[in-house]
Each structure stands twice: as structure tokens, then as C-alpha cells.
Amino acid sequence: MNRTGHAWGALCFAPVPLALMADTTPLHSILAFLGCLSGSGAPDWLEFDRIPHRTYTHTLSLWLAVTAYGYHLAIGDTFVLIEALKATSTILGAILCGFGCGCISHWLGDVLNRQPVPIFTPFDKYCLNLFASGSHQRTTCVFIFSVACILVGFLRPLLFRIDLLKMTFLT
């Protein structure tokens, strides 16, 4: 996909960070949404001479970890080492969660084409080999939106159950 296609892919994937931030303030949701839009192009613009294209910056497990850490930071579930960041850690977490989701949408946009992208490490690569990069961007956006809908349908009840378990064990 090209830069415009990745931006549209992030818009299609935006329900995921919004669903993750649903139990926080509206500011957190807006920041996660904006983080998703800015993260959609990050795997491409984070590369430079020493990092080849579709290696470290395109690793799915890295962006899943960034998203998970940002989510836990946004809901106040993570210990913050730097004292000065404690006041704004939930806001930074929302941005980080959205940024990670944008990078995941970028990966979903790239996995359908012929050039492989890494999943767990920068050295294992996988592709669905459906079409050339840059073509069929509407189909790719439909795929990304479908994945987003499945994730939202799975994550919202799961997050509710986790909160319910926390309340049960705390009382």
C-alpha cells in the first residue's frame, strides 16, 4: 500500500483503539484515534540506512507489545518509573496504544501483498501473496475493517470480564 492507502487503513482500523479506550475519558479516545492515524505510516518513516525495509519496523509482535503497554498505561495499570511522567502517563498511554494500533493496521495492509512482512521476529516473514503492493487498496481496507470489527467484538466483552474479575477479587 502507499501512504494514502495506509491512512485509509488506519481509519478503517480506528474502532480498535476507540474500543480499547471506551472505559477512559473522551480525551483518551480522541488521542488514541489520532495516535492510530499517525502510527499508520510509522513503520515506513521509522526506517533509515541501517534498518532495511520490512524488517524491524514491520514486526507485528513489536506493535502488539506497544499497543498492550499503551493500553495498560492508559488505564493506570502499569507502574511508571519516571516520577515526572506519572501525571500524564494515562495520556501518553492512550497515544501509545493508538500509535501501536496504527502500526498494526499498517502491517495488515502489507501482509496481503507479495512482499513478506515479519510476524514474531524481523527474520521470519510471511505474506498472503494476493496482489502487488499498491494495488487493490479498497479490498485491503475492507480486510482491515473486517479484522477491526472482529477484534472489537472480541475485545470489548473480554475487557468487561477482566474488569469484573478484578472487582470480584478486590472485594
Q: Are 60 and 118 in contact (CB under 8 A)?
A: yes
Residue pLDDT, tens place only, 70-85: 998 998 887 777 777 7
Residue 127 has pLDDT above 90, yes or no: no
Element at 15 (helix H, strand E): helix 15-20
How does the average pLDDT of the chain come out, rounded? 87
Alpha-carbon gap, residue 106 to 98, rounded angstroms: 12
- Residue of 44 and 19 predicted with greater confidence: 19
| Total domains in the fold of the chain | 1
**Residue the block writes with cell 479498497:** 138
pTM score:
0.86
Neighbouring CB atoms inside 10 A of 57's CB total 22
What is the mean pLDDT of the segment spanning 44-64? Answer: 84
What is the mean pLDDT of the segment spanning 143-150? Answer: 95
Q: Are 20 and 90 in contact (CB under 8 A)?
A: no
* Domain span including residue 116: 3-170
- How confident is the model at residue 107, as a pLDDT? 94
What is the mean pLDDT of the segment spanning 147-164? Answer: 81
Q: Are 145 and 152 in contact (CB under 8 A)?
A: no
Alpha-carbon gap, residue 155 to 133, rounded angstroms: 30
What is the band of 29 on the pLDDT scale with cuts at 50, 70, 90?
very high
What is the mean pLDDT of the segment spanning 12-34? Answer: 94
Alpha-carbon gap, residue 60 to 42, rounded angstroms: 13
- How confident is the model at residue 49, as a pLDDT? 72
Instruction: Enter the C-alpha cell of residue 2.
Output: 502507499
- How confident is the model at residue 12, as a pLDDT? 96
Residue 171 has pLDDT above 60, yes or no: no
- Weakest mean pLDDT among 10-14, 22-26, 124-128, 162-166: 162-166
